[in-house]
Amino acid sequence: MSQADFGRLEIELAEVEMPGLMSCRTEFGPSQPFKGARITGSLHMTIQTAVLIETLTALGAEVRWCSCNIFSTQDHAAAAIARDSAAVFAWKGETLQEYWWCTERALDWGPGGGPDLIVDDGGDATLLIHEGVKAEEIFEKTGKLPDPASTDNAEFQIVLTIIRDGLKTDPKRYHKMKSRLVGVSEETTTGVKRLYQMESSGSLLFPAINVNDSVTKSKFDNLYGCRHSLPDGLMRATDVMIAGKVAVVCGYGDVGKGCAAALKQAGSRVIVTEIDPICALQALMEGIPVLTLEDVVAEADIFVTTTGNKDIIMVDDMKKMKNNAIVCNIGHFDNEIDMLGLENYPGVKRITIKPQTDRWVFPETNSGIIVLAEGRLMNLGCATGHPSFVMSCSFTNQVIAQLELWTEKASGKYEKKVYVLPKHLDEKVAALHLGKLGAKLTKLSKDQADYINVPVEGPYKPAQYRY
């Protein structure tokens, strides 16, 4: 709590950098549209998130929050929010056990059921409810409790344990949540992928808005956010000179594009690995060679995973790397890098330089590699995540998505499906961020608007436009 004052000072600085959120407070605050709404958030508990939370409360919501990553909480942000605005269950350096306990706490609004709305990032809050409901159904039919031993996945064992223990005290806990829930707005590619899978298998329990695929989210936060925070994380963790080095970026999606741009501009020679020929051709057009990890594993100095897939850099790859090669991940989950393989490698030695910066030394070669943030999101583990301005774009989408869900809760507009925000709202989010940067838009004349067949006030592009 001693850090709350520091957190408040940084929140005040961030507010100046987050014009979209502050505009929401001005536009919607007076009418208190979230009056009566309970919002649970599972999203990195940073300074920027603090401004989001206080925007939700400024619009009338009650809020409970947890982080969606064990390392991403900024303790001073959490302290300020906990003191001033909302219940927070998050600290930097949680164990996995603690992490899921926090998630469960943030969903627990007491006897009246769970939250009305969820702000999710990566989908863990959504997952817990879906798994809970599934387990309760099985229990109701068969009396069988979930068995943590039924899975190899250490993290999923914890999830099952929590659900099992919950079942013992209240066998309808997650059903009550489900019935109260109006919907979820999901922040990131990984969580969105899960939602579409649930939608297509028919198992999605409530409406979802895919915030990630707003243009003002995925083409800004993922791209420009990572362009900023990747070098930030590298420099804070290792102080290594990026210029002159060979850097491998695994994946050339929006995140990979941002990372590759940052590394290239800082003077390193970037190599991209890709599975998708279109993204590969984009890299080539920017002067970036596309090779396989195998081709370059022994020569590169820095490795960054950005794929959203698993098993990208395995322990056998790491063994072949140069001494003090840096290995890190900026994708949502920590399974891009084979941390398990590394930890279990016979005779491997872990030397912690400082928190989130470990040197792992292989016994055969006495040569080491440096792993950041234990394979988790390095920009949040080793630095402070994306800067406020770009998060203002993302989070303004979140506020608008939450407003949509809440305002339309009774109208039937949103079914148990995944939705993207309409383009005029996407354009509005962008418009709210132009003034801060001194930009002036050109206005279409009626005649011009007719000529290209759009309304004068937008939206200006067809749905499939790629930007």
Check 120, 186, 187, 374 and give the catalytic one: 187
Exactly one of 62, 124, 274, 374 binds its own copies (CB under 8 A); that residue is 274
Interaction between residue 418 and its own copies (CB under 8 A): no
**Closest CB to its own copies among residues 104, 426:** 426
Check 69, 229, 282, 394 and give the catalytic one: 394
**Closest CB to its own copies among residues 34, 389:** 389
Is-catalytic flag, 393?
Answer: no
Residues 201-260, interacting with its own copies (CB under 8 A): 213, 215-216, 218-220, 223-224, 227-228, 231-232, 235-236, 238-246, 254
The tokens describing 265, both together, are 């501009």
Stretch that binds its own copies, among 56-64, 96-104, 126-134, 275-283 (CB under 8 A): 275-283
| Contact letters for its own copies, residues 13-52 (x by CB under 8 A) | xx-xx-----------------------------x-----
Q: How far apart are CA 283 and CA 16, in angstroms?
A: 35
Residues 307-336, interacting with its own copies (CB under 8 A): 308-311, 323-324
Residues 49-68, interacting with its own copies (CB under 8 A): none
Residue 434: how many other CB atoms lie within 10 Å: 12
Is-catalytic flag, 433?
Answer: no
Is-catalytic flag, 411?
Answer: no
**Closest CB to its own copies among residues 132, 368:** 368
CB of 290 to its own copies, least distance (A): 4
Give the bridge partners for 325, in sequence order.
369
Is-catalytic flag, 394?
Answer: yes
Residues 171-200, interacting with its own copies (CB under 8 A): 193, 196-197
Interaction between residue 298 and its own copies (CB under 8 A): no
Exactly one of 143, 277, 347, 412 binds its own copies (CB under 8 A); that residue is 277
Q: What angle do CA 17, 420, 184 make, to 5 degrees?
A: 80
**Closest CB to its own copies among residues 25, 173:** 25
Classify the C-alpha dihedral 467-336-231-320 as positive or negative.
negative
Is-catalytic flag, 42?
Answer: no
Is-catalytic flag, 130?
Answer: no
Is-catalytic flag, 24?
Answer: no
327: left (phi over 0), alpha (psi -120 to 50) or beta: beta
Residues 331-390, interacting with its own copies (CB under 8 A): 351, 353-354, 359, 370, 383-384, 387-390
CB of 283 to its own copies, least distance (A): 8
* List of residues 6+ apart from 142 with CB closer than 8 A: none
Residues 89-148, interacting with its own copies (CB under 8 A): none
CB of 196 to its own copies, least distance (A): 8
On whether the CB atoms of residues 188 and 121 are closer than 8 A, the answer is yes
Check 15, 17, 23, 44 and give the catalytic one: 44
Is-catalytic flag, 67?
Answer: yes
Check 76, 130, 175, 386 and give the catalytic one: 386
Is-catalytic flag, 332?
Answer: yes
**Closest CB to its own copies among residues 55, 282:** 282
Is-catalytic flag, 32?
Answer: no
Task: Note the maximum CA span of the chain.
Answer: 74
**Closest CB to its own copies among residues 40, 185:** 185
CB of 356 to its own copies, least distance (A): 14
The tokens describing 78, both together, are 């959490």
**Closest CB to its own copies among residues 218, 398:** 218
**Closest CB to its own copies among residues 20, 166:** 20
Is-catalytic flag, 386?
Answer: yes
Interaction between residue 434 and its own copies (CB under 8 A): yes
Give how many residues touch its own copies by CB under 8 A: 112
- What is the set of active-site residues? 44, 67, 72, 121, 187, 212, 217, 221-222, 226, 332, 386, 394, 398
